[in-house]
Amino acid sequence: MNLHARFATQVGSLHLECDIRAEADTTVAVLGPNGAGKSTLLRVIAGLHRVDTGHVHLGDDVFDDTDAGRWMTPEERRVGFVFQDHGLFPHMTVLDNVAFGLRSRGVFRTTAREQARAWLERVDLASYASNRPSALSGGQTQRAALARALVTEPRVLLLDEPLAAVDASGKLDLRRALREHLRTFSGVRILVTHDPLEAASLAERVVILEDGRVTQEGEFSDVTARPRSAWIARMAGLNLLRGVVTDDVLLLEGGTAITVATDVRGPALATIHPRAVALYRRVPEGSPRNVLKGRVANVDPEGDRWRIQIDGPVPLVAEVTPVGGGELHLADGGDIFASVKATEIDVYAQ
């Protein structure tokens, strides 16, 4: 049973327009910066936001179809939604929270409570059954919300930043536990996150959503190896260049020509790893490399490396050792020459 959502909708100043498919038994991570429309996408699938035009189908079921004038209410869709704030009902016990969905679908109280209790055991919360949600920690709340969504056996599971409300210390275990629980659910799974780590560890496929548009999709490793937008490149820690290749020369949009070694011709993207950028205070002589002049804009020590942000006609990020950075007095700023070997530039068609 596949989910297909293709729609356009206006939310405040954001115009969200996407065409997203998700297969059963697969976790799709929708990754993107804040305000890109990720949560709205989930709200559209759940039926909490009605689109201006387009459709949302799950298998043969029509959730939403503006052309046919059809719309299914959220309660009819059988979509499990784990909200960013987890949304537990503060006036009910943890057990009644988990049993709520079953009770709403007409399951008798005792049966609903039994099933809810079984789920609480699965997520290690059995001892909190009669507590109010306020007694739970962030991680426990997340697990209770997950149990509440899964106990009703939904056809689609939506997770909105499931670990955002959890403090960093517990994240590692929770992420692993969440992956285990996701594996046991065989429906469509869509996870929204701004955290690349979450996307990489929980999802088989990522969809990058930026400013209301899908900019790239595929496996996480492929997407980060060959980013198609500045945001993805930054997330992957790569420098991204955009231009046109003719005869081993990449002519950048700003007019700078860079020598590359590639078979690609025409409009292309290119990445340079920050460690492949060598820095000099004076023009390196007799070098076969590309040399780009710029100014040191920022120095950011990160572990055993310094990340150097260089402004100029071609903005770049370079990584140097603290020793190298100290010798070049990079902390003082000033003019700098960045050199990159043609073979260190990965070029791919746009």
Partner 1 sequence: MNRGVTRRPLIGLVIPAAVAVLFIVVPLIGLLAHVDWPNLPSEVTSTDVLTALRLSLECSLLAVAFSVVIGVPLAYLLARTAIPGRRVVRALVTLPLVLPPVVGGIALQTALGTTTPIGTALHTLFGISLPFTTLGAAVAEAFVAFPFLVITVEAGLRQRDDHLEEVAATLGARPWRRFWLVTMPLAAPSIAAGAALCWARALGEFGATITFAGSFPGTTETLPIAAYSSFEGTGRVGEAITFSLVLLTISIVVLVLLRDRWLGALK
Other beta carbons within 10 angstroms of residue 57's beta carbon come to 17
Binder among 13, 91, 169, 303 for partner 1 (CB under 8 A): 91
* 185 versus 231: smaller Cβ distance to partner 1: 185
**By the rule CB under 8 A, 83 interacts with partner 1:** yes
Size of the site for partner 1 (CB under 8 A): 24
**By the rule CB under 8 A, 75 interacts with partner 1:** yes
Q: By the 8 A CB rule, do 206 and 199 touch?
A: yes
Region of 153 on the Ramachandran plot (φ > 0 left; ψ -120 to 50 alpha; else beta): left
* Identity at 338, one-letter amino acid code: A
Rounded least distance, CB 129 to partner 1, Å: 18
Decide: helix, strand or coil at residue 323: helix
Segment interacting with partner 1, rule: CB under 8 A, options 89-97, 110-118, 171-179, 251-259: 89-97
**By the rule CB under 8 A, 132 interacts with partner 1:** no
**By the rule CB under 8 A, 79 interacts with partner 1:** yes
Rounded least distance, CB 74 to partner 1, Å: 4
Q: By the 8 A CB rule, do 191 and 203 touch?
A: yes
User: Binding to partner 1 (CB under 8 A): which residues in 138-157?
Assistant: 148-149, 152
Binder among 63, 100, 220, 337 for partner 1 (CB under 8 A): 100
Q: By the 8 A CB rule, do 90 and 62 touch?
A: no
Binder among 54, 101, 212, 243 for partner 1 (CB under 8 A): 101
Binder among 6, 15, 78, 273 for partner 1 (CB under 8 A): 78
Binder among 2, 10, 53, 104 for partner 1 (CB under 8 A): 104
* 136 versus 272: smaller Cβ distance to partner 1: 136
Rounded least distance, CB 81 to partner 1, Å: 4
**By the rule CB under 8 A, 73 interacts with partner 1:** yes
Q: By the 8 A CB rule, do 57 and 20 touch?
A: no
CA–centroid distance for 86 within its chain? 19
Rounded least distance, CB 124 to partner 1, Å: 22
Label residues 302-341 b or e (16+ Cβ within 10 Å = b): eeebbbbbbebebebbbbbeeebbeebebeeeeebbbbbb
Cα separation, 28 vs 206, in Å, equals 6
Residues found in the chain: 350
Q: Helix crossing, 109-122 with 94-104: angle to 10°?
A: 130
Segment interacting with partner 1, rule: CB under 8 A, options 42-50, 128-136, 243-251, 319-327: 42-50
Other beta carbons within 10 angstroms of residue 255's beta carbon come to 9
Beta bridge partners of 28: 190, 205
**By the rule CB under 8 A, 94 interacts with partner 1:** no
* CA atoms within a 13 Å half-sphere pointing along the CA-CB vector of 132: 5
**By the rule CB under 8 A, 337 interacts with partner 1:** no
User: Binding to partner 1 (CB under 8 A): which residues in 152-181?
Assistant: 152
Binder among 32, 54, 80, 212 for partner 1 (CB under 8 A): 80
Q: In the chain, what's the furthest Cα-to-Cα distance?
A: 82
How close are the terminal C-alpha atoms of the chain, in Å?
A: 33
Which residues make up the interface to partner 1 (CB under 8 A)? 46-48, 73-75, 77-81, 83, 85, 87, 89-91, 100-101, 104-105, 148-149, 152
